[in-house]
Every structure is written in structure tokens, then in C-alpha cells.
Amino acid sequence: MLCIGHGGASGLAPANTLESFAVAAALGADRIEFDVRTFRGRPLVAHTALDARFGRALDLETALDELAGPRYAGLEFVVDLKTRAAAAPAVAALRRRGLLERALITSQCPPLLAEAHREAPEARVGISVAGRLSRALQHWGEWRSEVVAALRAGTYDALMAHHRLVDRELVDRVTDAGAELHAWTVNAPNAMRALARLGVHGVVTGDPRLVRTLA
């Protein structure tokens, strides 16, 4: 089961910071997840608009310069797009550093993933599915069947599902479609053990140490 560090290691250091990325790498994360959005025309590593406006959000270029370095050799990245205008600059910045092949580009918004695919047809993309309100905003109906059909069609390479949505049936259907299923965000040991028993391919966690205790 892959360990995907949420915002780096958000349970141990401020999310989406160089410090958090370094902690995740040191603790053996397989992938580092971070959020990308635009604010006043700049692509930033920030989870919310408030983080971008009032926080000390990293410039995307600065973040990727660090992640392209030797400390992160062999690691992969989950790049979660928050705004549509972020897709093109994120893809271009990843490509310039040779990181596109090491990235899974994700979003809860299908149009953002479509934009990423237009910019880079070779990019791996993952649809993220959350709670009822989010699903309603994205016009999901029978979301499980719709997502699995899209996975089978090759529209998406992975499903990032809120951990409370994950059960054996979903794991089996996504696996049968030839795709990955990653559960987010899991910071409780018992929940992590339960997901491991279900056979999820990876868990997103703020504390990479929790995954290593299951080995």
C-alpha cells in the first residue's frame, strides 16, 4: 500500500511547505501530494483561496525546483488542481523539470483534468471524489458506476476517494478496471488498517509513519 503524504506531512509540519515535503521524504513516503491553485495570475501551492491570499503560499516554481532535487529522487507526486487556470502552468512546470512522468494530476473537478489532458495527453490523471455536497456540485449521479466506466474508458487512471466512501466492492471494481484506488485523508491507525485489509492501492495521510507501522 503506497504512502502518499498529504501536503507533504501535514500532521507533522505545515502543509504544502518545503519543510513538510522534506519531513515526508525523510519518513519514507512513496508520493507527496500538494495543492495547486492560481491567485492573481500566479500558480501557487495552496489548499484554499484563504491560504493563497493570507498565508505564506509557496510559488509553484519554487516548490518544483525543490521537488526536482536529489532529496526526492525516486518519489512520485500527486498534484491536486484546485482552479482551472492552474492546469496549464502546472503541466508546463512539471514538464520543464522532467517531473510529468512522476506525477499523478488529480482534481475533484472533471473539467480541470480535461484541461490537463489537453495540455499533456500523456499525463496520468486521477478523479477525486468527496462527500455528497461536492458530488452534487460536480453533477455526479450514480457516481460509482460513472467513475468506474470512466476508468475503464481510460478517461482517468486513478480514483482518489474519501476514505469513508471506500468498501470492498469499490476496491474490486476499480481494480478490475485496471486503475488505482487511493483513500484520503487517513490519520487514524484503525482506519488505515481497515483500508489495508480492503486492498486499497494507497492512502493519503498527514503522518507517513502510520503506514510504515503496517509493514
Q: Which residues face 4 on adjacent strands?
A: 31, 204
Residue 56, pLDDT score: 83
Domain coverage including residue 198: 2-212
- How far apart CA 90 and CA 35 sit, in angstroms, is 10
Q: What is the CATH number of the domain that holds 204?
A: 3.20.20.190
Q: Would the pLDDT of 214 be above 70?
A: yes
Residue 98: burial class (beta carbons within 10 Å; 0-12, 13-18, 19+): exposed
**H or E stretch covering 183:** strand 180-184
- How far apart CA 81 and CA 106 sit, in angstroms, is 6
Q: What is the pLDDT of residues 1-42, one digit of tens each?
A: 999 999 999 999 999 999 999 999 999 999 999 999 999 999
Where residue 212 falls among pLDDT bands split at 50, 70, 90?
A: confident
C-alpha cell at 215: 509493514
Q: Give me the number of domains the chain comprises.
A: 1
**Average pLDDT estimate for 96-115:** 98
C-alpha cell at 55: 498565508
**Average pLDDT estimate for 37-64:** 94
pLDDT above 90 covers a percentage of the chain that reads 95
Residue 80, pLDDT score: 98
pLDDT above 70 covers a percentage of the chain that reads 100
Q: Would the pLDDT of 122 be above 70?
A: yes
- How far apart CA 143 and CA 157 sit, in angstroms, is 16
Where residue 55 falls among pLDDT bands split at 50, 70, 90?
A: confident
Where residue 215 falls among pLDDT bands split at 50, 70, 90?
A: low
**Average pLDDT estimate for 139-152:** 97
**Average pLDDT estimate for 172-199:** 97
Longest Cα–Cα distance of the chain, Å, equals: 44
**Average pLDDT estimate for 49-54:** 91
Q: What is the pLDDT of residues 188-202, one digit of tens each?
A: 999 999 999 999 999
Residue 108, pLDDT score: 97
CA 105 from chain centre, in angstroms, equals 7
CA 185 from chain centre, in angstroms, equals 10
Residue 7, pLDDT score: 98
C-alpha cell at 76: 512520485
- How far apart CA 210 and CA 215 sit, in angstroms, is 10
Q: What is the mean pLDDT of the chain?
A: 96
CA 130 from chain centre, in angstroms, equals 13
pTM of model > 0.75: yes
